């Protein structure tokens, strides 16, 4: 990151990218390395513990990848654990992702993710901070960073978090803003699921996959065309919203028509012709477990 150009992005430019998202937010601007174009798309924060379970890490990556392919920009805090997995998932989709630091760029923290930050910028995303490049991180700055994450997004997902977690602080900022807060449920006996379960108990939306997140967004997700080098999972830039939702729902695995109809709240008379068209186009296949994305 040390060799990358950083610039101050003032509030006027941020408002031009974020629209009404920053209304009521006291944010003068951000220091940024990379491109902020992703902020013009629907943005979702994916956050959670720094020490996740293997399943939590995989879940964060799968969710971010599916959202990226559906046209969403993923925002997170570049921390170890869930944050890093979310950024990696967005990169795997060839979609822009935005990392928010809890200190200046010149004191990149955690140092282990400096290389990840460089890849985010190289892939068309950005690493931003509310603090000047020379400012060394202090504990309170990460709480301020959490507020910035919540300010930049349309919805926030907590993948895995203990009862006392910085991710819950970020969720609190999001709830104060009135944007959707979603959480993956977990076993009540698992400490790393306690924070998510508490959020759901207190009114957060239970999330199972990317389709749940897309359904919670306050507006239609536009198409996103990944670079030619990005893996092809069957998404097309010109797809209508219903088709993108089907693809996102199948990103985690096969589903039968009935569960898809329930999942997407689409009547079978509308869903089945879309599935047939996708199968004819070779973008999905059918098998014993139902419909699945065709992996080329």
- The arithmetic mean of pLDDT across residues 219-223, rounded, is 53
pLDDT, averaged across the chain: 88
Over residues 227-239, the pLDDT tens digits come to 443 444 444 556 7
DSSP symbol at 19: G
Tell me the C-alpha distance between 198 and 192, whole Å: 11
Weakest mean pLDDT among 8-17, 164-173, 215-224, 271-280: 215-224
Asked whether residue 59 carries a pLDDT value surpassing 90, the answer given is: yes
Asked whether residue 245 carries a pLDDT value surpassing 90, the answer given is: no
Over residues 81-107, the pLDDT tens digits come to 999 999 999 999 999 999 999 999 999
Torsion sign across C-alpha atoms 207, 209, 210, 211: negative
Pairing of strands 97-100, 126-129: parallel
DSSP secondary structure, 171-230, as one string: HHHHHHHT--EEE----TT-GGGHHHHHHHHTTPEE--SHHHHHHHSSSPPPP----TTS
DSSP secondary structure, 38-55, as one string: GGGS-EEEEE--SS--HH
Over residues 139-162, the pLDDT tens digits come to 999 999 999 999 999 999 999 999
Tell me the C-alpha distance between 93 and 46, whole Å: 15
Asked whether residue 187 carries a pLDDT value surpassing 80, the answer given is: yes
Q: Are 43 and 64 in contact (CB under 8 A)?
A: no
Asked whether residue 260 carries a pLDDT value surpassing 70, the answer given is: yes
Overall size of the chain counted in residues = 296
Tell me, rounded to whole angstroms, the distance of Cα 38 from its chain centroid.
Answer: 12
Tell me, rounded to whole angstroms, the distance of Cα 26 from its chain centroid.
Answer: 23
More confident residue, 169 or 280: 169
Position 225 scores a pLDDT of 44
Tell me the C-alpha distance between 170 and 201, whole Å: 17
Pairing of strands 290-293, 155-158: unpaired
Position 254 scores a pLDDT of 86
- Whether cis (ω within 30° of 0) applies to the bond prior to 110 is yes
Strand partners, 44: 74, 155
- pLDDT tier for residue 293 given thresholds of 50, 70 and 90: confident
* Token pair for 143: 């709480």
More confident residue, 121 or 221: 121
Over residues 122-133, the pLDDT tens digits come to 999 999 999 999
Instruction: Work out the angle at residue 147's Cα, subtended by the Cα atoms of residues 80 and 189, and round it to the nearest 5 degrees.
Output: 55
Q: Are 20 and 51 in contact (CB under 8 A)?
A: no
DSSP symbol at 108: -
pTM, 2 dp: 0.76
């Amino acid at each position: 990151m040390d060799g990358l150009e950083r610039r101050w992005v003032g509030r006027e430019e941020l408002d031009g990218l974020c629209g009404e998202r920053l209304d009521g937010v006291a944010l003068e601007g951000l220091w940024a390395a990379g491109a902020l174009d992703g902020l013009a798309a629907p943005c979702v924060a994916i956050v959670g513990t720094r020490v996740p379970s293997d399943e939590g890490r995989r879940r964060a990556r799968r969710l971010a990848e599916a959202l990226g392919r559906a046209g969403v920009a993923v925002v997170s805090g570049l921390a170890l654990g869930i944050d890093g997995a979310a950024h990696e998932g967005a990169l795997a989709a060839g979609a822009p992702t935005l990392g928010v630091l809890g200190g200046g760029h010149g004191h990149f923290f955690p140092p282990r993710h400096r290389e990840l930050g460089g890849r985010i910028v190289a892939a068309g995303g950005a690493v931003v901070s509310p603090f000047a490049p020379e400012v060394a991180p202090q504990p309170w700055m990460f709480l301020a960073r959490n507020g910035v994450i919540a300010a930049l997004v349309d919805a926030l997902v907590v993948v895995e978090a203990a009862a006392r977690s910085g991710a819950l602080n970020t969720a609190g900022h999001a709830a104060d803003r009135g944007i959707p807060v979603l959480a993956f449920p977990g076993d009540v006996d698992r400490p790393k699921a306690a924070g998510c379960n508490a959020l759901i108990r207190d009114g957060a939306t239970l999330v199972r996959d990317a389709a749940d997140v897309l359904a919670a967004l306050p507006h239609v997700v536009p198409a996103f065309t990944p670079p030619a080098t990005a893996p092809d999972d069957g998404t097309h830039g010109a797809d209508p919203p219903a088709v993108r939702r089907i693809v996102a729902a199948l990103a985690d695995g096969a589903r039968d028509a009935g569960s898809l109809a329930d999942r997407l709240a689409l009547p079978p008379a509308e869903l089945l012709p879309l599935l047939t068209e996708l199968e004819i186009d070779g973008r999905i296949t059918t098998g014993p477990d139902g419909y699945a994305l065709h992996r080329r």
